[in-house]
Amino acid sequence: MYSGSVPALYDRYRGPVFFEPFARDLADCLADLRSGNVLEIAAGTGIVTRELARVLPETVSIIASDINQDMLDFAAAQPGLARINWRQADALALPFGDAAFDAVLCQFGVMFFPDRVAGYRETRRVLKPGGRFVFNVWDRVENNEFCWTVTEAMARLFPNNPPDLLARTPYGYFDTDLIRNELTQAGFDDIAIETVDRQSAAPSARDLAIGFCKGSPLRSEIEERDPNRLDEATHVATEALLSRFGEGAIAGKMRAHVITTTAS
């Protein structure tokens, strides 16, 4: 899913639009750390990692992990991140000892855990007592305008088998009561959830469509239906975005939940 050209497309077309605005806020949640060890889970192409390197002093050790080596290789090649220790790691079986970290951070990654409670328990295991777990998830797809527009366009293109991965997974874990319950099952307490609205900006409808159709999990769903229709899907997504948001630089509303909790 995230091999070949996808990491570069993901970072170029999706990073600035969707992830960088939230990455700054998420990294700032740990800005008070002056020493210790921080683990990032599902680091992807290093969008949050760059912010952590900006806000945390050299006295804080940063390990950035992801299950996908191609994404990590892309991230490690970016400038200014020589201090980062990159590790391939499965969030459900972290290769670290108990109570190894003062904080764990994860941006828009927990939705992909095959078993979220098990993943939360692993995070709890590697945190020191009182350590912080900070992560975010998207709100429902209808509250994220760009994604909803593309999702509707793909449903029109493939009416008999709509690609719904975005709504089902990345944008499917929005129930804050469920999030609280699963964190509590995993041994976390003092759970704070803040709903955050941001403005998403893209240089053009075409750029945004490329990011969705060629640099996101949506690509695999399109190719599963017809590998020869990826360019057509990108065109259809472009037209839908142009119809709703217009020519030139475009902006849309996006909403996420930011969760902060501690290891009891």
Q: What is the CATH number of the domain that holds 123?
A: 3.40.50.150
pLDDT digits (tens, 9 = 90+) for 164-220: 989 999 999 999 999 999 999 999 999 999 999 999 999 999 999 999 999 888 999
**pLDDT interval class at 1 (50, 70, 90):** low
- 257 and 194 Cβ atoms separated by less than 8 Å: yes
Q: Is residue 30 part of a domain?
A: yes
CB count within 10 Å of CB 247 equals 8
Write down the pLDDT at residue 4.
64
DSSP state of 93: B
Pairing of strands 127-138, 250-263: antiparallel
Query: Per the domain annotation, does 171 fall within a domain?
Result: yes
pLDDT score, position 74: 93
Would you state the pLDDT for residue 3? Answer: 52
| Count: domains in the chain | 1
pLDDT at residue 2 tops 70? no
Strand order in the sheet with 127-138: 85-88, 60-66, 36-41, 101-107, 127-138, 250-263, 188-202
Does some domain include residue 1? no
| 187 in a structural domain | yes
How buried is residue 243: exposed, middle or buried, by Cβ count under 10 Å (0-12/13-18/19+)? Answer: exposed
Composition of the chain by helix, strand, coil, percent to 5: 45, 25, 30
184-to-61, 80, 93, 132, 169 alpha-carbon distances in Å = 28, 37, 19, 14, 21
Q: DSSP secondary structure string, 194-228?
A: EEEEEEEEES-HHHHHHHHHHSSTHHHHHHHH-GG
Q: What is the mean pLDDT of residues 112-121?
A: 97
Task: Say what the pLDDT of residue 249 is.
Answer: 97
Side-chain half-sphere of 118: how many Cα atoms within 13 Å? Answer: 9
Given a cut of 70, whether residue 154 has pLDDT beyond it is yes
- Write the pLDDT tens digit of every residue in 20-41: 999 999 999 999 999 999 999 9
Average pLDDT for residues 74-89, to the nearest whole number?
95
Domain containing residue 74: 6-263
Instruction: Retrieve residue 18's tokens.
Output: 């969707």
With a cut of 60, say whether residue 134 has pLDDT above it: yes
